[in-house]
Chain A
Amino acid sequence: MKIVVCMKETPSTEVKKELGTDMRLVRNPQDAIINPFDEYTIEEGLRLQEKHGGEVVILTMSPAQTTDNIRKAMAMGADRAVVVADPSLAGSDALATGRVLAAALQKIGFDIVLFGQGTADSNGGVVPSITAEYLQLPLLSLATKLTIDGETAVIERSAEVGYVKVEAKLPLVVSVSKSINQPRYPSMKGIMSAKKKPLETLTLADLGLAANQAGSAAAHDKVLAAESVSTQRKREIFVGNDGAAQRIFDFLSDNKII
C-alpha cells in the first residue's frame, strides 16, 4: 500500500508568534517543528504500513530552509519524503495549498493520503477537504479510528453522542484526529538512517503549475488583522477558616463561575 502523509512545519509552540507587515507569520527555520497534529498523521501512516506493508511517503509544502523536521519524520520510520519548495509559494492561502498538494499527490501516486486535523499556526482545518476536492476523491475526515479491509477504508468519528462510522473505497483522503493514536519517539536506528533516505524537492514547474497558481498571487483570502490573546490570572488568598465555604461561594458566583 502506498501511503502519503501530508505534514506541515509550524513554528514551535514555545516561541511567541509574530506577524510581519505583510500579515504573514514570521517563520524562523530554527524554531520550526512538525505541526503537532501531524505527529499523529505520521504515526497513523506508519501503523498502516506495519499492518498492510508498502511505503510511507512524507509530503510537505514548505520553505525548506532546513530539513530537520523531514528527517525527524523519516527517523520515526517514513521511507522517503517529497518537498514542494518554490519562492512563489509564499503567501499561499488554503485553496492554493490544496491545489499544490493535489498536484504533488498526483505525481507521487497513492492508495491513501493522510492529513492532520489542523495546524498549530493558522489552523484553517480545510486543506484536507480542498485537496480531496481537487483530487475528486472521497474524504473521510477527523478519524478517531481507521481500518482498511481490502479496498475499503472505514473510519470512526466522534459525534456529540457516541460516534459515527463512515466508509469509502480506496484511493481516498483521510484526516485523522489527535485521539487516534499515541505518536512514537523516533528510534535511535531511525535517527541514524534518516539521512540515507531519499528526499526529493519539487518546484511548481515540476508539478506543471504556473507561478500565479499559488502564493500571494493566487490568494483569495487576505489576513487583515491578528491579535494575540493575553491571559491574566486573578488571584485572591483568603486567610482564616471563618465562613470559608460562604466566602469561596461568593467569590465564585461574583466571578460568574458558578
Chain B
Amino acid sequence: MDFTLSDEQLAIQQVSRDFAENVIKPRAFAMDASGEFPLDIIQQMGALGLLGLPIPEQYGGAGADFLAYCVALEEIARGDASVAITMEAHTSLGATPFLLFGTDEQKKTYLEPLASGQKLWAFGLTEPQAGSDSGGTQTHAELADGEWVINGSKMFITNAGTSMTAGVTVTAVTGVKSNGRKEITNLIVPTGAEGYVIGPPLKKMGWKASDTRPLSFDNCKVPQENVLGSVGGGFKQFMQTLDAGRVAIAALCVGLAQACLDESLKYSHERSQFGKPLHDFQLIQAKLADMATEIELSRLMYYKAAWLHMQGRDFTKEASMAKLFASETSKRAADQAVQIHGGYGFMDDYPVSRYFRNVKVNEIGEGTSEVQRILIAKQLLQSLR
C-alpha cells in the first residue's frame, strides 16, 4: 500500500494551498459579512484550471485525476467554505455529468467553457417537496413540436444565478415506465431559456458567499436535443453523479475541519490562563488530539473512496461512509474549536465562529447524514440476501 501522492497531485495541492492562503483566506471574513459572490476569485480559479481539474484536456480541463481534484478541494475549503462549495458543485455536479453522459456535441458546447473555467454550471435535483426523497420529483417535461416544455420548481440550487453561470441541468419527470415508476430525464437548460426563472439568492446560516437559489420553470422551452444522455436515464445518472460528489464533499469537510484545527492550535498557543498556555492543559490537548485523529481518519476515507473510483471499482458504500464521517468530523471539530476559543470563539471577529456556522450544512447537502446511513445499511443488508 502506497500513500504517497504523485508529483502532480503534490504540485496541485501546493498551488491550491498557496492560493487559498494568499488569495481566498484574507477575503473570507468580508465574504461572509457581505454574502457577495466572489466573482473575481472564482474567475482567477477558472484561469488557473481549478474549475476543471478532473476533466480531460481535450475538453478544456486540466486532465488531473479525481484524487488530485479532491486534494485541491480540501485546500480550497481550508481557505473558505463558500469558495469550495462553488468549486465542488460546479465540477462534480455541473461539469462531470456532461463528461460522463453528454454527446460529443454537448461536450463541445457545454463542457468546454465549464472545464476551462469561463462559465459555471448548476445541477437542479432538489425540489421544495422532494429533498431526500428524490423519487418524489414533481417537475415534469413534455415533448411538443420538437421542444421540451418544462414545468415545476427546484430548491437550494448552488451556482444557478451567478453572472458567470451558463445554465442548469434539471431533473424532470418525462413519463411513466412500464413498471409504473416515474421516467426521469436530465434536461439541459441554458440561462436565459424562455420560461426559466431564477429566484433571488437565499439567505443562509453559512456558506454565505455561495450562490443558492430557488428556480421555477413556467412552460420553459428547450430544444429536443437538450436531453443529457438518454430519455429515462436521469435517475441512474444522478445517483452516479452523487456518488463521486460525496467523495468530493468529504474532502471539502476535511478542509473545513483542518481549518478548525489550525486555528485551535494557534489560539491554544497564544492564550494563557492560570499562568500557562491553553495547550498545556491536558483537557485541551485531548480536544486537539481527537480533532487531529478524526481529521486523519476522514482524509484516509476520502483518499480510499477516490482511489476505488479511479480504479473503476464500486465505491458507493465508501463514498457514503467518507461523506458521513467527514461531515460529522467537521461539525465536531468546529464545535471544539469554538470551545477552545472560549467567549472569543463566539465573536464574529474570530474565524472559528464562522467555521461553526459553515459546517452544519455538511450533514445536509448531497444527501443528509440520515440518508448516508440508510445507503450504507442498504449495502450491508444486500449481502444477507
Contacts and interface: CB of A to CB of B under 8 A. Distances in A.
A80 interface: no
Contact of A187 (B7, B8, B18, B49): B49
* Chain A interface mostly: helix
B47 A187 contact: yes
B49 A188 contact: yes
Given A187-B49, A188-B48, A189-B62, A75 B18 contact: no
B123 to A, nearest CB: 22
B19 A185 contact: yes
Contacts of A194: 11
Interface string B217-240: 000000000000000000000000
Contacts of B15: 185-186, 188, 191
A192 B7 contact: no
- Most chain A beta-carbon contacts within 10 A, residue among B18, B49, B53, B57: B49
B7 A68 contact: yes
B8 A192 contact: yes
B48 A195 contact: no
Interface in A173-199: 185-192, 194-195
Given A185-B19, A185-B48, A72 B11 contact: yes
* Chain B interface mostly: helix
A191 B7 CA distance: 9
A245 B19 CA distance: 42
Interface string B1-18: 000000110011001001
A102 B228 CA distance: 59
Please classify how large the interface on chain B is, using the bins under 10, 10 to 19, 20 to 34, 35 or more.
Answer: 10 to 19
B206 interface: no
A8 interface: no
Contacts of B7: 68, 71, 195
Please classify how large the interface on chain A is, using the bins under 10, 10 to 19, 20 to 34, 35 or more.
Answer: 10 to 19
Contacts of A185: 15, 18-19, 48
A75 B53 CA distance: 15
Contacts of A188: 12, 15, 48-50, 52-53, 62, 64
Interface string A184-228: 011111111011000000000000000000000000000000000
Contacts of A75: 11
Contacts of B48: 185, 187-188
B8 A195 contact: yes
B35 interface: no
Given A71-B7, A72-B11, A195-B7, A189 B63 contact: yes
11 contacts: A71-B7, A71-B11, A185-B48, A186-B15, A187-B47, A188-B50, A189-B57, A189-B63, A190-B49, A191-B8, A192-B57
Given A187-B48, A188-B52, A192-B63, 11 more contacts: A68-B7, A71-B7, A185-B19, A186-B11, A188-B12, A188-B48, A188-B50, A189-B49, A189-B63, A191-B12, A192-B57
Interface of B: 7-8, 11-12, 15, 18-19, 47-50, 52-53, 57, 62-64
